[in-house]
């Protein structure tokens, strides 16, 4: 099948395998290790032994904000608001009052309409005015009054769990945040990193594996599905990322010493490879990327990828397939289904090594 078609990234998944709750412990999730010729069934807690001493683990320390709000239109109809980022730019800004958002349902919502945002206590927390209708179906909304947005989110917001997770429990909210989340700004979690505990990170370091961090604010570019049949026609939305000089230095030293760079999650891949693609070499600072990694992409930084199982026809599955080979990835997915692995955000994980045959010379 033509790997440039979205239909080339479909697979059959029983609904019973879509995880509705996290594992009993973060590191109790399963880990499918995808080798060149064989698959290994492991536990995520075994990751330090699966990796090699000298490897460098790269984590995304973004923090998910309570960006999902419930409101009522002036007509009385219910509306859900998902804040994406301040309207003035992609950087999270606690002082911003105008935000770009996804509204659902949105088709009949017009400029100038006011939405009463409901607090979790049932009272009105604030009023949001729709100021702009954007071409791609998004809306800009402005919060009226003097209440700062962090206070509104604390009173009315919830972490925006994906629509396929039907779990409103406090435990699900708490577990949809990594243990090392530090920098607010994401509206979806870097889910591969949800499996780490403080003890597991300590075990990684005892094994002689380095750990560095960067930040990519997960937004629409990561989770919006492909609408076109040809993947080349899909337009990725930009996401903001920051890489520190210390992280750059550690990665460059590891590469000079022929040690492996292990990306935890597709967001880390997108930040690192997007950075090199834009600048020719790794460059510290704050940037944006709208890179869509597709088959034929030349990976120049990442050697190993730890990631969860992704939705069919998603840009994330395309990225993983570009990294490790579409046939190998889809074969691993079929095996994971047969072996009862749990899929998507609260599901299990897999580890893949770069496929030099697929991606060209590094």
Q: Nearest CA to 116 among 82, 77, 85, 169?
A: 77
pLDDT digits (tens, 9 = 90+) for 208-265: 999 999 999 999 989 888 989 999 999 999 999 999 999 999 999 999 999 999 999 9
In this predicted structure, what is the pLDDT of residue 362? Answer: 43
In this predicted structure, what is the pLDDT of residue 111? Answer: 95
In this predicted structure, what is the pLDDT of residue 106? Answer: 85
In this predicted structure, what is the pLDDT of residue 22? Answer: 97
pLDDT digits (tens, 9 = 90+) for 15-48: 999 999 999 999 999 999 999 889 999 999 999 9
7: left (phi over 0), alpha (psi -120 to 50) or beta: alpha
3-class DSSP string for 85-145: EECCCCCCCCCCCEEEEEEECCCCCCCCCEEEEECCCCCEEEEEEEEEECCCCCEEEEECC
Residue ranges of the chain whose pLDDT lies below 50: 357-362
Q: What residues does each domain of the chain span?
A: 6-64+172-359, 68-156
Q: List beta partners, residue 263.
A: 58, 305
Q: Give CA–CA dist 345/265, Å, rounded.
A: 11
In this predicted structure, what is the pLDDT of residue 359? Answer: 44
Render the burial of 157-187: b for 16+ CB within 10 Å, e for the rest. bbbbbbeebeeeeeebeebbbbebbebbbbb
What's the pTM?
0.96
The domain over range 68-156 is classified in CATH as 3.40.20.10: no
Any idea which architecture 6-64+172-359 has in CATH?
3-Layer(aba) Sandwich (3.40)
**Which residue is it, tokens 């395998």?**
17
100: left (phi over 0), alpha (psi -120 to 50) or beta: beta
Q: Give CA–CA dist 85/96, Å, rounded.
A: 9
In this predicted structure, what is the pLDDT of residue 356? Answer: 58
């Amino acid at each position: 099948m033509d790997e440039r078609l979205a239909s080339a990234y479909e697979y059959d998944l029983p609904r019973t395998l879509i995880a509705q709750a996290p594992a009993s412990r973060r590191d109790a999730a399963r880990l499918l290790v995808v080798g060149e010729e064989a698959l290994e069934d492991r536990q995520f807690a075994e990751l330090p032994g699966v990796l090699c001493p000298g490897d460098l683990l790269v984590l995304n320390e973004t923090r998910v904000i309570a960006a999902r709000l419930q409101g009522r239109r002036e007509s009385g109809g219910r509306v859900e608001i998902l804040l994406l980022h301040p309207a003035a730019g992609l950087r999270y800004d606690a002082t911003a009052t105008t935000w770009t958002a996804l509204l659902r349902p949105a088709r009949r919502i017009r400029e100038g309409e006011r939405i009463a945002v409901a607090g979790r206590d049932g009272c009105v927390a604030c009023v949001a005015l729709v100021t702009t209708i954007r071409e791609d179906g998004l809306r800009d909304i402005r919060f009226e009054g003097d209440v700062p947005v962090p206070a509104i989110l604390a009173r009315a917001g919830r972490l925006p769990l994906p629509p396929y997770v039907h779990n409103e429990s406090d435990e699900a909210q708490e577990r949809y945040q990594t243990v090392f989340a530090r920098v607010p700004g994401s509206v979806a979690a870097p889910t591969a990193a949800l499996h780490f505990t403080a003890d597991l990170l300590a075990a990684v370091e005892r094994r002689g594996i380095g750990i560095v961090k960067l930040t990519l604010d997960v937004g629409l570019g990561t989770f919006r599905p492909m609408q076109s049949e040809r993947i080349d026609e899909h337009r990725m939305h930009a996401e903001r990322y920051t890489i520190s000089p210390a992280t750059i230095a550690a990665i460059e030293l590891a590469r000079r010493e022929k040690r492996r760079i292990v990306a935890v999650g597709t967001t880390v891949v997108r930040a690192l490879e997007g950075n090199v693609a834009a600048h020719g070499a790794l460059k510290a600072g704050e940037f944006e990327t709208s890179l869509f990694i597709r088959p034929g992409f030349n990976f120049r930084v990442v050697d190993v990828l730890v990631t969860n199982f992704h939705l069919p026809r998603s840009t994330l599955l395309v990225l993983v397939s570009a990294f490790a080979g579409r046939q190998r990835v889809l074969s691993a997915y079929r095996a994971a289904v047969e072996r009862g692995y749990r899929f998507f955000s609260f599901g299990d994980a897999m580890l893949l090594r770069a496929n030099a045959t697929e991606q060209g010379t590094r």
